Amino acid sequence: RTVYVNGKYLPEEEAMISVFDRGFLMADGVYEVTTVLDGKLIDFDGHAARLERSLGELDMAAPCDRATLLAIHRELVARNAVTEGLVYLQVTRGAADRDFAYPEGVAPSLVMFTQAKSLIDSKAAKTGMKVISVPDIRWARRDIKTVQLLAPSMAKMAAKAAGADDAWLVEDGQVTEGSSNNAYIVTADGTLVTRDLSNRILHGITRAAVLRFAREAGIKVEERAFTIEEAKVAREAFITSASTFVMPVVEIDGARLGDGAPGPVATRLREIYIEESR
């Protein structure tokens, strides 16, 4: 596999980053994950805009302009012959003597690689996922897509230990989002509910597209907080992310939703999302 590191396309064994890189020492970096379907990028502009915002919020320099970023994405997809999968991109503040203050005059590091992966044909899309709730112990700037991912990793491990597929994060009794995805429920009257945008959740690119498609399909959408109790008695539930598209949830903290099979709204939105994206 060819990876991209600071201006060079290299075999992965030869790709190197300094031990003084602040991404490594302080999680001082941001990332994006963009889907590839049929060899084409989905929503590149949305991911690029969110990256620019993440960089801006952290006063971090952009490694290059958007057009160059797009060219690198395409070059990696071509070199690695990816038809279906993901492109991972990470920008860190760069390498400098360890100090809590940001260093001056240091060039940011840009690392990118691809992951070939079957995304459309998914077992979870047919059977639905089981989730458990765990406290949301992350920091208060979840709108910035940083590489500090230990809290979501711990949540994922708690889910695995409980025999579930993923965890929904709960703060002040209300669901913020999934460990690496946005969370949705469908209420008894058919309303689609998902957390409103703020610093408490990541502003999902898939979320924006799915809410647009839902509204176009005549589904009533409410962007508001919901409790885990409301979720457990919801008609259906699902998650969204670049790597899962729309994925049905059929069990929350052991409570089965509906008849325990993926719901019609999740199933339909998954179909629409895939159809419209490719």
Query: Which residues in this chain contact ligand PDD in the complex, by CB under 6 A?
Result: 33, 177, 180-182, 202, 204-207, 240-243
Nearer to ligand PDD, 130 or 195 (CB): 195
Nearer to ligand PDD, 47 or 96 (CB): 47
Q: What are the residues whose beta carbons fall under 8 Å from the beta carbon of 52, sequence distance 6 or more?
A: 62, 66
Q: How far is the CB of 98 from ligand PDD (least distance, A)?
A: 26
Q: How far is the CB of 86 from ligand PDD (least distance, A)?
A: 8
Which residue among the candidates 8, 40, 123, 145 is catalytic per the annotation?
145
Q: How far is the CB of 53 from ligand PDD (least distance, A)?
A: 12
Q: Is 145 annotated in the active site?
A: yes
Nearer to ligand PDD, 178 or 263 (CB): 178
Q: How far is the CB of 32 from ligand PDD (least distance, A)?
A: 8
Q: What are the residues whose beta carbons fall under 8 Å from the beta carbon of 265, sequence distance 6 or more?
A: 186, 190, 192, 214, 219, 236, 238
Nearer to ligand PDD, 33 or 64 (CB): 33
Residues assigned a catalytic role: 145
